[in-house]
Amino acid sequence: MNLSTSGIEKNMIPTFADLDNDGDDDMIIGDYNGVLHYFTNTAGPGNTANFVLTAPQMTDLDGITIDVGLHAAPTLFDLDKDGDFDLIIGERNGNLNYYENKDTLLPKFTYVTDSLGFIQVNYFGTSIGMSFPRFFLNDMGETQLFTGGEHGNIEHYNTIDGNLSGNFNLVTNQVSNVNVGLRSTPALQDLNNDNNLDMIVGNKRGGLRVALGTGLSNTIEPAYEEFRFSVFPNPAADQFTIQLTGTMAIDFELLDLSGKIVRQESRNSNSTHQFDTSFLTSGMYLVKITSKSGTGTQPILIK
């Protein structure tokens, strides 16, 4: 899909859900200018997505353009539990905008508030927030919120259900001690097929960091004490190198996104370790390293 000729501004942020109730996921993209663009998926269930730009600038139920100022970061989630996907939008100022969906067959969003949960994600006292919300259900079926921001942390909020006009409770302002530098952008998915949500966090530099979920009401925590290492080149073709912060022996696992281990071995003490990837099919994988210093996981793209 080529978006370069779509007329959409830079800093595109997509979110996906079946908005027209036809069995496949449609797409909304937020952009730098703070507006949204709606793409209908015409492919049908089980087919490769075919996104068609249906609304170059989305409007609400009253015909007013949905515009949050700058850096629109949309997400879709059934916040009011009425069976359809509502629209929540982060933005440059760090607040959350809430549009309720009034229709289960076609998206009809109506403005509710620009202060959902009275959340204000700001960067050390400045007016810059870059809120980036992601809602999910914990093991007890309770709605939870993770939101990234300019500060690089992931904030966790609860007491959301039945409290959409009130203050959400801040559980922690730094989930799993994750800080990725500037502009944290979380995504949640069960990556290793253990029935727990895992978290991938992007950042302004373009990197990704992975934190694996342990269960425990879907708290995202590294499985062990996490240590850092670098993987290069990334993307890789025939081989990649792991650079450690010191000389140490490691246990290495390479997993696909279904959680299947596609390569596993132990290496003697060294600060760099090279691995052959010529046998792999193209796609995203997870590099998992365990050593005396702990365990770390990083994504790698094989071309």
**Distance (Å, rounded) from C-alpha 31 to C-alpha 71?**
6
**Distance (Å, rounded) from C-alpha 71 to C-alpha 123?**
15
- Half-sphere exposure of residue 276: CA atoms within 13 angstroms, side-chain side: 3
Flag whether pLDDT at 225 surpasses 50.
no
Given a contact cutoff of 8 angstroms between Cβ atoms, the answer to whether 77 and 84 are in contact is no
**Distance (Å, rounded) from C-alpha 302 to C-alpha 292?**
28
**Distance (Å, rounded) from C-alpha 244 to C-alpha 132?**
31
- Where are the domains positioned within the chain? 13-211, 229-302
Flag whether pLDDT at 88 surpasses 90.
yes
Q: Using alpha carbons, select from 147, 151, 146, 148 the residue that is nearest to residue 122.
A: 151
Per-residue DSSP letter, 168: P
Q: If one looks up domain 229-302 in CATH, what number appears?
A: 2.60.40.1220
The average pLDDT across 192-213 equals 82
Q: Using alpha carbons, select from 219, 150, 220 the residue that is nearest to residue 185.
A: 150
- pLDDT bin (cut points 50, 70, 90) of residue 177 is confident
Q: What angle do CA 275, 276, 282 make, to 5 degrees?
A: 115
Judge residue 110's burial from the number of C-beta atoms within 10 Å of its C-beta, 0-12 exposed, 13-18 middle, 19 or more buried: middle
- pLDDT bin (cut points 50, 70, 90) of residue 223 is very low
Flag whether pLDDT at 12 surpasses 70.
yes
* Interstrand relation of 239-256 and 13-17 (parallel, antiparallel or unpaired): unpaired
**Distance (Å, rounded) from C-alpha 47 to C-alpha 38?**
19
Phi, psi for 237 (deg, rounded to 5): -115, -80
- Half-sphere exposure of residue 176: CA atoms within 13 angstroms, side-chain side: 27
Neighbours of 193 (CB within 10 A): 13
**Distance (Å, rounded) from C-alpha 247 to C-alpha 291?**
10
How confident is the model over 255-303, as pLDDT tens digits? 887 677 889 999 888 888 899 989 898 888 888 888 776 677 788 889 8
Lowest pLDDT segment from 36-45, 165-174, 211-220, 248-257 = 211-220
Q: What is the pLDDT of residue 218?
A: 52
Highest-pLDDT range among 139-148, 206-215, 283-292: 139-148
Flag whether pLDDT at 110 surpasses 80.
yes
Give, rounded to a whole angstrom, the gap between the first and last alpha carbons of the chain: 18
**Distance (Å, rounded) from C-alpha 162 to C-alpha 80?**
8
Report field, pTM of the whole predicted structure over 0.85: no
Report the SS3 class of residue 54: strand
**Distance (Å, rounded) from C-alpha 164 to C-alpha 162?**
6
